[in-house]
Structure 1
Amino acid sequence: MESPISPRVRLATQLRVGAMLGRGGGQGAVYELPRHEGYVYKHYYTPIADARESFVELVEAGHRLGPSLAEHGITALWPVHVLGPGESVEGYVMPRMPDRFRAEIHTPYGPAMQEATLEFALEPEAGKAFYPLRVLSAGERVELVRLVGQFLDTLHADDLIYGDLSLKNMRYATDPLELLVMDMDGVHHISTRVIPAKDLANTPDWNDPHRSSELPLGFDLDRYKYALLVHRLIVVNNVSAGFPEEASSIAVPEECGLDAEQREGLEFLLRRAAAGPTGSRPAIREWLALLT
């Protein structure tokens, strides 16, 4: 049964829009597309003005980069069709998330299938109410971190910035280990005009404390957030912990799945990212050289 949805949305999409998926986010909501199996529609509550060119760039980038990402075990949900009058964007069509990026989660109410966000990649702590029945090993966490780095490096090599990097915006599958990247609508070319409503979304607890604003300066914000992701997944096993005040105190645990030389190299990169001023964070390829 189709969900009640305003005629304005139905007219804007020129699609038969079905039920809303999930509860909707801060910017918009995602809907079923009954006539287009394997695809969904993301509708913005408020249209984004003068954004069509930027979104068309994303459609083109998906065609260009999707195959190479897939070779590395990475799926990204790029926009494939942009909708809205003139230069305004009211929403876009994107691929539906494949079911393999869901995991069976232990809950206080019994097992349940949920989207396998990278928060579930952490080692479950004692007494935790929600955790995956299939717990990742230390080596698998390292591989997942490497896949995130491979994704960012592929974008950066094409002069694209991801922006809203967080554990919630990524999913994983197991056996084999794969990565899924959500929220591709914030991706933008490094040299194009920034569109605040599209390009400046940031998940709480992922802001750079050394930056006076969240305006992206080159690739540095991606680099800082990647370092924070490495710290949370490999070093401290915590979804929201920031870097310590004394960067020199960062220590990579022996049981993290890396050898002594890799741990030493990782500590060096993490300390540089934590203590360095904006614009000085290690490039993603430095991390990949260490983790590959």
Structure 2
Amino acid sequence: MADPQLPFDVAWSQLGPLEEINKGANGRIHRLKDRPAVVFKEFNTAVPAAPLRQLIQIRRQAKRGEDIKDMTAWPTRVVFDDRSGASSAANQAIGVLMPLIPPGFMQKIDLPDGSATVKPRDIQHLLFAADVARRRGVDVPADHDVRSRMLICERLSFIVAALHYENLVYGDLSVRNVLYQTDPRPDVYLVDCDAARPNGASGGVRQQNTPDWDPPEHDDDSGGLRHQSLETDRYKLGLFILRCLAPGRGGASNRDVDASVGMLDPEGAGLLRSALDGGPADRPTAGTWTRYWRQHLRLGPLPPAR
């Protein structure tokens, strides 16, 4: 059983009734019936608990900790297994508690058979032709509404900058892990944050590397990225900016900086070229992108940290 002095741990038996609401490659998502705004992400395989506790502590002490709380599904508790016969020890986590995705980032999507489903509104819808998304009932910016797309880029740059300020690598910045909304204002929300880790650390939950979002750094034999870093996050942020501003056929795999010609002013075009065509040390930081967007869009300085 876990040490009762560890403030971030909770036993499986304390979760109460669970309702499975989703599943993926890394595990299953259960809503806590007694606490419907909280979900339990149950891992397929137990992982070391210490790195997850560290993530919770870093968020609580972060300069932009409240922004991270508001804009990410950040872990709030480490779940250990106290069931009879369970083999998980106190230093192993079978999952984490985290907030339920806010309703503004959920989307009713019309299916080809005439039925509908409700799913997280991930950024893949921003990368294809807008009329394709609209035929499925998905909320996307109006045609020629470049400003809304840039505001989404600013929000993603901001939250990545907040993580990087704490020396945290997000890792799998890709279509499934970044959600967005346009109403009442453009915003983003990051999921799968349990795989974040301090730059250079081995971490606990394995960081994935989604195809078509891989940086130029070499892959290992298993197809996974050998080392994800602040620099690989910066590359993936550049990819999103390019693809968000130049959607359409092939937009989800586009790496051609020239596709953004006419969308950005010379400063922005230079930043994007450095992000995607330069070496790791040349890539603009997320903070540089945030400052650029806020100046370009005349948003003024960032509000103070809460």
| Fold-level similarity (TM above 0.5) | yes
* Cα offset, 1:99, TM superposition: 1.4
User: 1:119-158, CA deviations, whole angstroms, 9 ceiling, x for partnerless residues?
Assistant: 2234635566854453313211110111000001011111
Matched, 1:59 2:64: no
Structure 2 counterpart of 1:206: 213
Q: CA deviation at 1:217?
A: 5.5
Superposition CA RMSD, Å:
2.5
Could you list the per-position Cα deviations for residues 39-82 of structure 1 after superposition, in whole angstroms to 9, with x for gaps in the alignment? 0101111111xx22210111123333441346xxx521111110
Tell me what 1:115 maps to.
120
CA contact (8 A) 1:187 1:199 kept: no
The CA distance in 1 between the partners of 2:123 and 2:269, in whole Å, is 22
- How high is the sequence identity, in percent, across the aligned residues? 21
SS at match of 1:43: strand
Question: Which of 63, 79, 82 is the equivalent residue of 2:78?
Answer: 82
- 218 and 45 in structure 1: CA distance in 2 versus 1, 3 angstrom threshold: closer
Which amino acid in structure 2 is aligned with residue 94 of structure 1?
M
Distance 1:176 1:125, change over 3 A: closer
1:5 is matched with: none
Contact 2:67–2:159 at 8 Å: present in 1 too? no
Q: How much has 1:236 moved relative to structure 2?
A: 4.2
Match of residue 193, structure 2, among 184, 204, 208: 184
> What runs of 5+ residues in structure 2 fail to find an aligned partner?
1-10, 81-88, 295-306
The answer to whether the 8 A contact 2:133-2:140 is kept is: no
- Bigger relative CO (Cα 8 Å, ≥ 6 apart): 2
Q: CA distance change for structure 1 residues 121 and 83 in 2, over 3 Å: closer, same or farther? A: same
Question: Per-residue displacement from partner, 1:95-118 (whole Å, max 9, x unpaired)?
Answer: 111212123434432665432111
Is 2:239 the counterpart of 1:228? yes
Q: Deviations over 1:157-201 (max 9, x none)?
A: 11111111012112123212222110110111125x313x61421
Q: Say if 1:210 and 1:277, in contact at 8 Å, map to a contact too.
A: no
Partner of 1:97: 101
Paired residues of 1:118 and 1:167 also in contact (CA < 8 A) = yes
| Alpha-carbon separation, structure 2, partners of 1:281 and 1:163 | 16
Partners of 1:77 and 1:15 in 2: how far apart? 18
For the residue of structure 1 that corresponds to 2:282, the secondary structure is coil
SS at match of 2:236: helix
Q: Indicate how the Cα distance of structure 1 residues 177 and 129 shifts in structure 2: closer, same or farther if over 3 A, else same.
A: closer
When residues 36 and 110 of structure 1 are mapped into structure 2, their CA distance, relative to the original with a 3 A threshold, is closer
TM-aligned CA distance change 1:20 to 1:113, over 3 Å: closer
- 4+ aligned runs moved over 6 Å, structure 1: none
SS at match of 1:38: strand
Which structure 1 residue ranges, 5 or more long, are not aligned? 1-10, 257-261
Q: Distance in 2 between matches of 1:239 and 1:29?
A: 30
User: Does residue 168 of structure 1 match 2:181?
Assistant: no
Query: Structure 2 CA distance, aligned partners of 1:128 and 1:190?
Result: 36
State which drifts further: 232-241 or 155-164: 232-241
TM-score, normalising length: structure 1: 0.80
What count of residue pairs does the alignment treat as equivalent? 264
TM-score, structure 2 as length reference: 0.77
Aligned partners of 2:53 and 2:78 also within 8 Å? yes
> Given residue 98 of structure 1, which amino acid in structure 2 is its aligned partner?
P
Q: Which residue of 2 aligns with 1:142?
A: 150
Q: Name the counterpart of 1:20.
A: 20
Q: CA deviation at 1:32?
A: 1.7
